[in-house]
Amino acid sequence: MITKEDVEHIGWLARIEISEQETVEYMEKLNSVLEYFGQLDELETEDVPPTYHVAEVFNVFREDVVEESLPQETVLANTENKQDGAFRSPKIG
């Protein structure tokens, strides 16, 4: 079971602001889903390897050949927050 503190912690990890009231709502909804996920514990999987990908493919590479980059104007076209060719954001700390 996850607690209110857990919800606050994962909210912080995921950078999603969560209000006091939302915390309780999330806690309830998330717990009902996690309870359902708990059914996997029934399965003995000690010796089962994980499947990350269905395709057994290895060694996919590209060659070290230069391709055209985007023009600066295009790169910055999706934001108003720019200055001197750079993205501008609020201070970090």
Partner 1 sequence: MVYENPDGIRIGLEIHVQLNKLKTKMFCGCSSDYHNSAPNTHTCPVCLGLPGALPVLNRKAVEAAIKVGLALEGEIAEETQFHRKNYFYPDLPKGFQVTQYDYPIVSKGKVVIEGEDGEHVVGITRAHMEEDPGKLVHIGSIEKSKGVLIDYNRSGMPLIETVTEPDMRSPKEARRFLDKFRNILEYLDVFDGNLEGAMRVDANVSVYWGTRVEIKNISSHKGVERALLYEIMRQKNVIRRGGKITQETRHFDEGRGVTLSMRTKEEAEDYRYFREPDLMPMRVSDWVPGIRETLPELPDAKRSRFIEQYGITDMHARSLTSKIMLADFYEGVCAKGADPKTAATWTADVFLGELNYRDLAISSYDGETIGFIHAKDPQVENSFKVSDMVELVKLFSEGKVSDRAAVEVIRSILDGTEEKTPLQIIEEKGLFKAEDDLVTKAVSETIAENAAAVQDYLGGAEKSLNFLVGQVMKKTKGTADAKTARELIIKELKG
Partner 2 sequence: MAKWMSVAQVKEKIRESSAEEVTASYLEVIEKSKINGYVAVSEKAVEQAREIDAKGHEGPLAGVPIAIKDNISVVGMQNSCGSKILEGYVPPFNAHVIEKLQEAGAVILGKTNMDEFAMGSSTETSYYGPTANPWDLERVPGGSSGGSAAVVAAGEAPFALGSDTGGSVRCPAAFCGVVGLKPTYGAVSRYGVVAYANSLEQVGPLANNVTDIAVLMDVIGGYDRRDSTSIDRKTAYQEALVDDVKGLKIGVPKEFFGEGIHQDVEKAVWDSIHRYEELGASWEEVSMPNIKYALASYYIIAMSEASSNLARFDGTRYGFRDRGENWHSMVSATRAEGFGTEVKRRILLGTYALSAGYHDKYYLKALKVRTLVKQDFDRALSKVDVLMAPTMPNPAFKKGEKIEDPLTLYLSDVNTCPINLAGVPSISVPCGFTDGLPIGLQIMGKPFDEPTVLRTAYTFEQNTDYHTKRPPEVA
Q: Which residue's CB is nearer to partner 2, number 83 or number 89?
A: 89
Give the list of residues 6+ apart from residue 34 with CB closer than 8 angstroms, or none: 1, 2
43 interface partner picked from partner 1, partner 2, none, CB below 5 to 8 A per type? partner 2
Nearer to partner 1, 21 or 59 (CB): 59
Phi, psi of 40 (to 5 degrees): -65, -25
Q: x-or-dash pattern for partner 2, window 5-44, by CB under 8 A?
A: -xx--xxxxxxxxx-------x--xx-xxx-xx-xxxxx-
Estimate to the nearest angstrom the gap between the alpha carbon of 21 and the chain centroid. 23
